[in-house]
Each structure stands twice: as structure tokens, then as C-alpha cells.
Amino acid sequence: MAKAHISATNTTDKTIRTIDRKRERERRFILNKAKENAEEFATRLTQRLIDREILEISSVSTVREAFTRQLQELPGMDDFDIQLKIAPNRTLIPDPNIISLYLTQYIIEDLINNPAIEDIFGEDIDVYRAIDSIFKVLRPPQ
């Protein structure tokens, strides 16, 4: 009977696949929870960005609706589109929250063109931290 050959490469590949599956499950969980509670998160996020003086806006409801719409659309988006959106900020911090990264880039690229936005203050990391202070509750403890 032949002895099963276990190589370091086989073990490494198995470990990488396990980590990838874990991250994908976490990603789906976070996106679905954000969608289920989109209105609450949008309200809290809008208030946090105003409190931290990152956003200067003329219409709270317009900005809140924009965030609600983004949170509801995220789970249905193609992974490629999400990765493309977060690419400029991927190296902002070591283990980022995907929703926080996505919304950071959304604010910087898209929301700035919304007529309700008067100005956006702070650096990318400041925007990310303000957003992540709301969405960190969705991440399972490490």
C-alpha cells in the first residue's frame, strides 16, 4: 500500500483555502447585516461624520438616503466592482473592514458630487476611522 505523500505545498494550499473561505463567510455576513440594518447604520453614519466634522452638508436626509442605498446594494454587487472601488485605499490599514473601505472611497469619489455635500474635511484615514467606528460592531471578534 502506497504511503500518502503530504507536502508542505499541499498543507499551505489547504491553509490558504481555509483562510479564504473564512474571510468570504465574514464578508457575506457583514454585507448582509449592513443591508438588514441599512437605515439605522445610515443614520448613525451620517451623524458620526457630521459630529467629527468630516462632512459639511445642507440636507441630512439626502445624505442618509445615499448611504442607505449604498448599504442595500452592497450584498448584490459583483466582487470585482467592490474590489475596484476599494483598490485605492486597500493599504490604508492592515486588516480593514470591507464596508468601511468601500464607504470611505464612496464618500471621496462619488458622494462629493452630491448637491447636498458642501465640503468634505480630513484625510482618507480620518474618514475611514469615523466610518469604521460605526461598522466595527459587525466584525466577529478575532
Question: For the residues of the chain, what is the DSSP string, one character each?
Answer: -PPPP--HHHHHHHHHHHHHHHHHHHHHHHHHHHHHTHHHHHHHHHHHHHHTT-EEES-HHHHHHHHHHHHHHGGGS-HHHHHHHHGGGTTSSSS--HHHHHHHHHHHHTGGGSTTEEEE-S-HHHHHHHHHHHHGGGSPP-
Mean pLDDT of 99-119: 93
Model pLDDT for residues 80-97, shown as the tens digit of each residue: 999 999 998 888 888 888
Model pLDDT for residues 5-19, shown as the tens digit of each residue: 555 567 788 888 888
